[in-house]
Amino acid sequence: MAHAATEAGSARLVWRQSQRLLTGVLSLVVTLLGLLAFTFMLSHLSPVDPVLQLAGDHASESTYQQIRHDLGLDQPVLTQFWRYLVHLFHGDLGISRLTHQPVASDLLRTFPATFELATCAMIFGATFGILLALLAAWKPGSVVDHAARLISLLGFSVPVFWLGLLGLLLFYAVLHWSAGPGRLDDIWLYTLEPKTGLVLVDSWLSGDAEMFRNAVAHLWLPVVVLGLLAMASITRLLRSALLEESNKEYVTLARAKGASRGRILLLHIFPNVRGTLITVLALAYASLLEGSVLTETVFAWPGVGRYMTSALFATDTPAILGSTLLIGGCFITLNALADALTYLSDPRTR
């Protein structure tokens, strides 16, 4: 009897988890479709005529109509969107009107640069953000706590493009600590064999120590500029979660038993905010992936952000939609992954 009850309980648990997984997948699909539909409709409200971009102002009416038919612009908007979804299902994101290359190949070429920049910035921001939040929660109201709050405020308030330009002026033009814009100097840019698309990894695999040092010299300044944004959000949100958790009864009991403040913070409070920490890290990383547009523009970083900016100025609809799909997919996937990790690591969410 007990064995049957256990099996029934396990079956119910598996069913609930399957429902949760199916709901999450459906939510991802619906959100991506909504994002694509919104971007697609906005692109059709643009005053720029894509046919004139391709045909020129002096094209004949027959040429104009032929190009319009070839692009499918003579069809209703919903029909055009359906055709785009069908092509998307087959892995076809269209041809970029700016580069005249498949959008998929453009994104495969540019995304590694964005991934490398955002990942390094995330490592920087997470390391110092968590450390600063722990120090602030260890002694609330202290100088360190005030410094953490000030850094968080500055990280949210200072525009990233201004910080990037100031960093280039100081560390590149004046102090010569940075190698400047781009990912590599021209002497190595065209000799590096792109095995992974990540300059740090490829330069390391090449065995050329000077090339690797040059890649680091180019990378560290945009990483710090972009990482300060992540560090600000991580510090502020994690500090608030730690201070809120510090007011719980089990913390008071631990103090009454004589446990030190550092032991309570590291062994009791910090593990209990891991759900919040996972969510904060996922949101910060997703924000870095989608918010690196200005940083890539300032530092001439050939990533998806810079590619999307060029596509927006040129009203390149296929490139805009492809970039939006990629960044939106990364954002939604990271949020779903954070929810799953929180569900698995924190029993209270179950």
Q: Is the pLDDT of residue 72 over 90?
A: no
Query: Coil, helix or strand for 193?
Result: coil
pLDDT at 115: 92
Q: Is the pLDDT of residue 201 over 80?
A: yes
pLDDT at 132: 92
Tell me the C-alpha to C-alpha distance, in Å, between residue 11 and each of 17, 46, 344. 10, 53, 18
Burial of 217 (0-12, 13-18, 19+ CB in 10 A): middle
Domain segments of the chain: what residues? 2-89, 103-349
pLDDT, tens digit (0-9, with 9 covering 90-100), for 222-277: 999 999 988 998 999 999 989 888 888 888 888 888 888 888 888 888 888 888 88
Burial of 131 (0-12, 13-18, 19+ CB in 10 A): middle
| Tokens matching residue 185 | 């100097």
Q: Is the pLDDT of residue 299 over 70?
A: yes
Go through 3-21 and write b for each residue having 16 or more CB atoms within 10 A of its CB, e for each that does not.
eeeeeeeeeeeeeeeeeee
pLDDT, tens digit (0-9, with 9 covering 90-100), for 12-68: 656 676 776 677 678 777 877 887 788 777 777 766 677 777 777 777 778 878 877
Residue 102 phi/psi, 5-degree rounding, is -55, 135
pLDDT at 3: 55
| Amino acid (one-letter) located at 68 | R
- As its CATH architecture, domain 103-349 has Orthogonal Bundle (1.10)
Q: Model-level pTM? A: 0.84
pLDDT at 5: 56
167: number of Cβ within 10 Å:
19
| Tokens matching residue 23 | 């709901």
